[in-house]
Amino acid sequence: MRIAVVSDIHGNRQAFEAVLDAIESTNCSEMWCLGDLVGYGGDPDACVALARRHAAVCLAGNHDLGVRGDLPLEEFSRGAALAASWTQATITPDTLDYLLALAPTNLDEEVGLFHASPRDPVWEYVLSPLQAELCLDVQRHRVCLVGHSHIALSFSRFEGAAASGQTHAADEELDLSAGEWLINPGSVGQPRDGDPRAAWIELDTGNWTAAYRRTEYDIPGAAAAIRAARLPDSLAERLSFGQ
């Protein structure tokens, strides 16, 4: 099966719509989301509506959990807390109901799905081989997908060797037929790897490959939505830099 995997939408309708359009031109039969539908962006209702319509599987991210009241906003950065408070006051009851039905893990698919990591599905940023090693030790699936860090990267471990990892540019492809893997598709709505284009992957569980994708989107429009919501200007400015 070919699956488009997205993560960290963060209320960025322009980016999410562009990625969904790109997915339409592929052979992917499903779209999965690893969480954080809402967060820093100005269109949380629209992003949740798109996920409701298109996502076969959707997780809850830490921002989703914060908005629905499961996590204290004091645990978030200032900008994230302000955005979460605004989102709480803005979203419709239908949006909240959808968020309330989500969980940060899904172990029922052929690959393991976590918002953050197999060790801590809500908060852990897996950014080093040591962290990946510890996650690979506990994950039940040979291949797992994670989001949260907003960086397109992967970690792998083969028999007799320690875990290693690297970041990935657009159209790089992974051979997942052997070894253990921890794969991050990057962020749709707020990439932080220096490439401002929306990030996602195409996962093929029949041939066991994964291909990294980047999609151009209307960054000025997304920034304007953030400013219209009177959220911190830094959340708008960073979109152009992929930081």
The predicted structure's pLDDT at residue 173: 98
What average pLDDT does this structure show over 98-106? 98
* DSSP type of residue 75: G
Q: In which band, very low, low, confident or very high, does the pLDDT at 208 lie, cut at 50, 70 and 90?
A: very high
Site of tokens 């959220």? 231
* DSSP type of residue 74: G
Residue 143 belongs to a domain with what CATH number?
Answer: 3.60.21.10
The predicted structure's pLDDT at residue 176: 98
pLDDT digits (tens, 9 = 90+) for 104-160: 999 999 999 999 999 999 999 999 999 999 999 999 999 999 999 999 999 999 999
The predicted structure's pLDDT at residue 3: 98
Domains of the chain: total: 1
The predicted structure's pLDDT at residue 180: 98
In terms of residue numbers, what domain contains 203? 2-241
The beta-strand segments (E) located in 25-163 are 30-33, 55-58, 105-106, 112-114, 143-145, 152-157
The predicted structure's pLDDT at residue 165: 97
Q: In which band, very low, low, confident or very high, does the pLDDT at 76 lie, cut at 50, 70 and 90?
A: very high
Percentage of the chain beyond pLDDT 90 is 100
Q: What is the mean pLDDT of the chain?
A: 97
Amino acid letter, residue 153: L
The predicted structure's pLDDT at residue 237: 96
The predicted structure's pLDDT at residue 21: 98
Q: In which band, very low, low, confident or very high, does the pLDDT at 90 lie, cut at 50, 70 and 90?
A: very high
| Contact of 39 with 84, CB cutoff 8 Å | yes
Question: Which of 166, 61, 189, 64 is CA-nearest to residue 123?
Answer: 61
